[in-house]
């Protein structure tokens, strides 16, 4: 029903999801729509059209995070129709990869412009409306990289740390106005993010040789074997229903355990865990930058990766679509488990299927309990 001022009277909650054309944002927008919310999504290519399957459709608006006028226009569009935005999900983003040394200040700035300042721009226009309404919820999509710095994704990790820090400050500032804020921290997800990751210019002739290749291969491999974005969409919608969402929500057990380890292990020991995960395994023979999904952008081999991204040269158990039974029995989980053993922590980190009591060392037990406690706390 239209009010006399053109405002649509709707008792349902109004949600704005940035980055809703693919991946986690799209899955969240569809799940919100399916759950009865009124949903607006954004994309650089949005055309005010309705997208999504029947029963989960939403309106896609144009927005480029680096372009303030498009941010303002998208927010204004929603406010002009509903006079409020109840829930904002900042999910838009992209990543760059390269050694810190081989990342120019301009490239680092560009990464922050998307992942950090882009969110600032959106908040600048959404928060006044939430404050005036005396309610609202902001859900920033961070990353496990905010507590688990990824080698050769230093700028990405730094931007996610900055986002978390801002999220925490915002929580305190907005509390008196009834506006809540939290950060969802996904682990690896199988989305277009991998294909869209950009390598820094200098890294195409990297001086870091095998280390860079190992890290890049492992990053892409684990993303392609990662969770379906719907998994993180569920966590986002669940957060939207919480009375008091915690500062950070890390939906995956193994990463919550890692976060606890990062706080109780000496940092040097934790670095060994990181190195074990990213810098020890060689890619398959012949795999180089030309084969990585991100690198294909530079080598003229771009095909449509949308939805069906495949890692060249990977086959067998570690390839895309492998049976992703237990994080602790393969890939990252296995490396973490091995490395934790090496630094004196026994146990099968994160193996849910095997049960608590199989191989779980004292410290792991402690970490699991702490992880459970931390799930809903900042
Ligand atoms: N995939 C993972 O493993 C993973 C893990 C942890 C955290 N995350 C985080 O999850 C968020 C979503 O990523 P995803 O995995 O869902 O990636 P995705 O499938 O590539 O989706 C990214 C979304 O952001 C939009 N976007 C990208 N750059 C933009 C820009 N400059 N301005 C406006 N919109 C832009 C894209 O829309 P258009 O291209 O249509 O504009 C798209 O809708 C990101 O913040 C990412 O850091 C992802």
| Domains observed in the chain | 14-251 (3.40.50.720), 258-282+315-375 (no CATH)
pLDDT digit string (tens) for the chain, length 378 residues: 455 577 888 889 999 999 999 999 999 999 999 999 999 999 999 999 999 999 999 999 999 999 999 999 999 999 999 999 999 999 999 999 999 999 999 999 999 999 999 999 999 999 999 999 999 999 999 999 999 999 999 999 999 999 999 999 999 999 999 999 999 999 999 999 999 999 999 998 899 989 999 999 999 999 999 999 999 999 999 999 999 999 999 999 999 999 999 999 999 999 999 999 999 999 988 888 877 776 665 554 433 333 333 433 322 222 222 222 233 344 454 544 454 455 444 433 333 333 332 222 333 343 344 444 444 333
Does the beta carbon of 112 lie inside 6 Å of ligand 1?
no
Q: What is the pTM of this model?
A: 0.83
Is residue 222 within 6 Å of ligand 1 at its C-beta? Answer: no
CB 211 within 8 A of CB 279: yes
**Residue 38: other Cβ atoms inside 10 A:** 20
Rounded Cα distance between 360 and 351, Å, is 9
User: At a CB cut-off of 8 Å and minimum separation 6, what does 300 contact?
Assistant: none
Q: Is the CB of 24 under 6 A from ligand 1?
A: yes
Residue of 94, 216, 255 to mutate, ligand 1, most atoms within 8 A of C-beta: 94
Closest CA to 247 of 142, 148, 370: 142
Q: Is 31 left (phi over 0), alpha (psi -120 to 50) or beta?
A: alpha
């Amino acid at each position: 029903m239209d009010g006399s001022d053109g405002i649509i009277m709707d008792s349902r909650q109004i949600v704005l999801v940035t980055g809703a054309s693919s991946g986690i944002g799209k899955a969240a927008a569809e799940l919100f729509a399916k759950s009865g919310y009124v949903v607006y999504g954004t994309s650089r290519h949005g055309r005010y059209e309705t997208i999504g399957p029947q029963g989960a459709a939403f309106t896609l608006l144009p927005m480029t995070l680096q372009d303030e006028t498009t941010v303002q226009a998208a927010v204004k569009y929603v406010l002009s129709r509903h006079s409020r935005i109840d829930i904002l999900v900042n999910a838009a983003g992209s990543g760059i990869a390269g050694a810190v040394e081989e990342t120019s200040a301009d490239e680092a700035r560009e990464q922050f412009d998307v992942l950090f300042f882009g969110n600032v721009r959106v908040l600048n226009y959404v928060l006044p409306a939430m404050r005036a309404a005396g309610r609202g919820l902001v859900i920033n999509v961070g990353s496990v990289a905010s507590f688990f710095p990824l080698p050769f994704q230093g700028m990405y990790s730094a931007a996610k740390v900055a986002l978390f820090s801002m999220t925490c400050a915002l929580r305190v500032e907005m509390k008196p106005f009834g506006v809540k804020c939290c950060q969802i921290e996904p682990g690896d997800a199988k989305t277009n993010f991998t294909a869209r990751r950009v390598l820094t210019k200098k890294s195409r002739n990297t001086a870091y040789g095998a280390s860079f290749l190992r890290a890049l291969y492992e990053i892409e491999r684990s993303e392609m074997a990662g969770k379906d974005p719907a998994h993180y969409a569920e966590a986002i919608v669940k957060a939207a229903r919480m009375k008091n969402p915690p500062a950070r929500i890390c939906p995956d057990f193994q990463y919550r355990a890692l976060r606890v380890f990062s706080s109780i292990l000496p940092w040097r020991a934790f670095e060994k865990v990181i190195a074990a995960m990213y810098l020890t395994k060689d890619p398959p023979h012949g795999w180089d930058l030309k084969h990585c999904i991100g690198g294909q952008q530079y080598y003229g081999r771009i095909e449509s990766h949308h939805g069906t991204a495949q890692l060249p040269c990977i086959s067998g158990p570690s390839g895309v679509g492998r049976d992703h039974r237990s994080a602790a029995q393969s890939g990252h989980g296995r490396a973490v488990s091995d490395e934790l053993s090496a630094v004196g922590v026994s146990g099968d980190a994160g193996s849910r299927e095997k049960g608590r009591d199989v191989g779980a060392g004292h410290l792991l037990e402690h970490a699991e309990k702490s992880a459970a406690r931390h799930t809903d706390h900042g």
